[in-house]
Amino acid sequence: MAASDELICSEVHTFTESTESDSSATRVSHFTFSNPLRISSHNDQEINYDSDGDAVVVRKEDYPEDALVIQHDLATNLASVGRQVWRGSLLLADYILHNHKQMVGLNILELGSGTGLASIVAALCGSSVVATDIPDQNILEIIKANIELNKDILNTTESITVKALDLKTDECNDTFDYILAGDLVYDDSITDALVSFIEKTLAEHKSTKFLVSLEKRYVFTVKDLDTVAPAYQYFIQKLSKAFVKFVLLDTMFKQYFCYDRSKDMVLMLISN
């Protein structure tokens, strides 16, 4: 079997509750999360008092969890990894939920949306979102299906538009407040295209900011005689030569989705 045909499986799937599956290894799962929007909504309501006249304190653990319903694949080859859910998307979703008050009314583009999870969360938090991915592998249809599956929690699906965008051939023609990219740093040719896209976009749209999340994936190489994260190191080298600024953000903020947020998870802000 050629390396490109080897099956790859995201460990994120072990944290989900399956609702449907079929022989093609496609699954519809519930991704549960603590919803801070419900907490904010409750805080705006009138305070209740008990029989002694004391205020009734509602603790955050008393709030019910919500869940996104996501269609995804359990395992794919490298070319189709966008059909799975990866921790980079969940880290982006956590960051958006943690800063949900600042997300209201923003225009957001997501690159390589995959299943659309982060885009759906951004729309849930009040942003106008364009979810994009390559026009093959049936990925755009998966995003549209997942938006429809979550129409009840979104209240409206009009806040998300789905479009084809190939980093290697397309450019950003519109201005966005934030452009999201989750777990796109794993292949050098895609990294080259991503950095080129970032550089061209920021040259044209001065106020746009990129939020890039990724996981350092370590391998042992004879060349280095050490365990290294070559894809991450290559990305940093490319960014360092580009005419952009980048900073690593603290990832110790509250976790809302259920997954293993390891020390190897990276969240990066890139801007002019």
All structural domains of the chain: 83-271 (3.40.50.150)
Give burial (CB, 10 Å; 0-12/13-18/19+) of 38: middle
More confident of the two residues 165 and 155: 165
- What gap in Å lies between CA 248 and CA 99, rounded to an integer? 17
Average pLDDT over residues 152-173: 93
More confident of the two residues 266 and 49: 266
CA distances from 28 to 31, 83, 160 (A): 10, 12, 20
Q: Is the pLDDT of residue 222 over 60?
A: no
Encoded amino acid at 239, one letter: L
Average pLDDT over residues 55-76: 74
Tell how strand 107-111 and strand 128-133 pair up.
parallel
pLDDT of residue 156: 78
pLDDT of residue 86: 95
Q: Is the pLDDT of residue 45 over 50?
A: no
pLDDT of residue 101: 95
Token pair 């549209």 is found at 144
CA distances from 67 to 2, 64, 208, 225 (A): 37, 10, 30, 44
Average pLDDT over residues 7-16: 82
Identify which of 166, 198, 182 has the alpha carbon closest to the alpha carbon of residue 87: 182
pLDDT band at 169 (very low <50, low <70, confident <90, very high): very high
Contacts of 127 (CB under 8 A, 6+ apart): 96, 103, 104, 105, 106, 107, 108, 159
In angstroms, what is the C-alpha Rg of the chain? 20
CA distances from 3 to 8, 77, 227, 240 (A): 10, 9, 21, 30
